[in-house]
Amino acid sequence: MMYKKSNKLNQIFTALLVFILISCGKEATSVEAGNENSEKLSGFPNRLPMEKPNREMSAALNRLYDAYPAPKPQANELFSQFKYTDLKGFDYNNHNGTISRRDPSKVIFHEGKYYVWYTYRNTPTPPQGAKKSSDVIPSSDWDLAEIWYATSTDGFTWEEQGVAIKRPEKPIVGWRSVTTTDILQWKGKYYLYYQGFMEASGKRGDDCPVAVSYADSPNGPWTAYNKIVIPNGAKGEWDEYSIHDPYPLVYKGKIYLYYKSDFGVKGDWIRMQGLATADNPLGPFTKHPLNPVISSGHETSLFPFKQGIAALVYKDGNEHNTVQFAKDGVNFEIAAITEMMPYAAAPFVPDAFTDTKDGRGITWGLAHFIGLGKKGQFHSMLTRFDCDLSQDLNDHEMKEPRVKYTPEDYFKRSLSKKQRVRIENETKNLEK
């Protein structure tokens, strides 16, 4: 009996040993599959390799490794969700359209406070269009505007400080409106670049060049250079009419000023981004021969990232809703696809002006929401966004690719009357 028992136990022990060896073997195969020797498998491995496997793959799988910094968003340093917070400290006259704040500058930190500059419009009426505009009636949300600024100790509650750049006297550049500014720190001085309108926006288009003012302190006083510093392009060139959204960084020892232009025809504007570089903040600026350098976007925000420059490209063009990267600051590639991107994002970029060779990235900034108010009360307001596009943060919530929407978020985007009529007609045609 004992022999039988011990024999039985031996059989069980042997079977158990064989099971363990087989399962270890399988585990090794599947683990190996996740590593470099996946060619032993006929199918793509069941664990996503983090390095490009040595095997023939489809265009999509090759792109996963060749086009993006990582094969999944959770590991992609240039992918992020965006979250938003309403700001405290700004009054909008009950959102009746007479006060607007928009197109904020990058945020800087100086002597314990954050600073931001922005387009400030305070007019007796909301915008009335170019035909009805006058010396006091704005044509657009950014017509008859000044550049104001605000400070904050926490980035959420802001204290408006008042005007930084007033509209100069006619015919000085910007006499009609000074808008859409951005900040540069260079050799201990501060420079505000801004769009200088010499006619009400919308007469032909949104036509303007870029001007600049400078100061020894972010609190001013600001001295206007009173000359056009980024001129419009030559007749027939892509940036002939508008130089918008000036966005200076310091890169490769120079001022890299990115900007947008609207071109094409009214009602079918194409928007792309250009680059102009200079050794002196007051110019001369040299436009890059490869301009436009970004094929899409609108108010495009950029920041030093590793050895290159990253860009938040949203709103317009084939490549809207992308984060892009140029390892040379010029030739941008798509690094990530995302959504609910901040409008006119104005990030806090600690190394925007340090001529860094290892840009750390961004985690927050200001932006704007446009088109607020009831019909005929068009205005905009500033907001805060947060994200994880930083080498120094690993916020899993921001790296989650799924943005949760409610059914109400979808139903808000209802069919237009024209679309309903089209659909009804399609149904009627079926019955004939």
Least distance to ligand AAL from the beta carbon of 131, Å? Answer: 19
Please say which residue, 271 or 399, places its beta carbon nearer to ligand AAL.
271
Nearer to ligand AAL, 208 or 352 (CB): 208
CB of 370 to ligand AAL, least distance (A): 7
Comparing CB distances to ligand AAL, the nearer of 77 and 245 is: 245
- Cβ neighbors of 392 (< 8 A, separation 6 or more) are 360, 361
Specify the amino acid at residue 271. R
Q: Which is nearer to ligand AAL, 299 or 351 (CB)?
A: 299
Beta-bridge partner residues of 268: 265
Q: Which of residues 142 and 285 has its CB atom nearest to ligand AAL in the complex?
A: 142
Minimum CB separation of residue 152 from ligand AAL in Å reads 23
> CB of 402: closest distance to ligand AAL in angstroms?
29
* Sign of the CA dihedral running 397, 398, 400, 402: positive
Closer CB to ligand AAL, residue 213 or residue 390? 213
CB of 141 to ligand AAL, least distance (A): 7
Q: How far is the CB of 143 from ligand AAL (least distance, A)?
A: 9
- We find the least distance from the C-beta atom of residue 116 to ligand AAL, in angstroms, to be 16
Residue nearest ligand AAL (C-beta atom): 180
Query: What's the burial of 129, exposed, middle or buried (CB within 10 Å: 0-12/13-18/19+)?
Result: middle
Closest CB to ligand AAL among residues 179, 383: 179
List Cα–Cα distances, 41 to 23, 30, 55, 160, in angstroms: 17, 9, 10, 63
State in angstroms the smallest separation of the CB of 53 from ligand AAL. Answer: 43
Tell me the torsion sign for CA atoms 132, 133, 136, 139: positive
Q: Is residue 187 left, alpha or beta, with left meaning phi > 0 and alpha meaning psi from -120 to 50?
A: left
**Interface residues toward ligand AAL, by CB under 6 A:** 103, 142, 179-180, 195, 206, 244-245, 260, 298-299, 344
The Cα 296–Cα 274 span in angstroms is 11
Rounded Cα distance, 20 and 32, in Å: 18
Cα–Cα dist 240/73, whole Å? 39
Name the minimum Å distance from CB 313 to ligand AAL. 13
Nearer CB in complex with ligand AAL: 141/388: 141
Q: Which is nearer to ligand AAL, 103 or 388 (CB)?
A: 103
Q: How far is the CB of 343 from ligand AAL (least distance, A)?
A: 8
The whole-angstrom separation of Cα 98 and Cα 94 is 9
Q: Which is nearer to ligand AAL, 120 or 142 (CB)?
A: 142
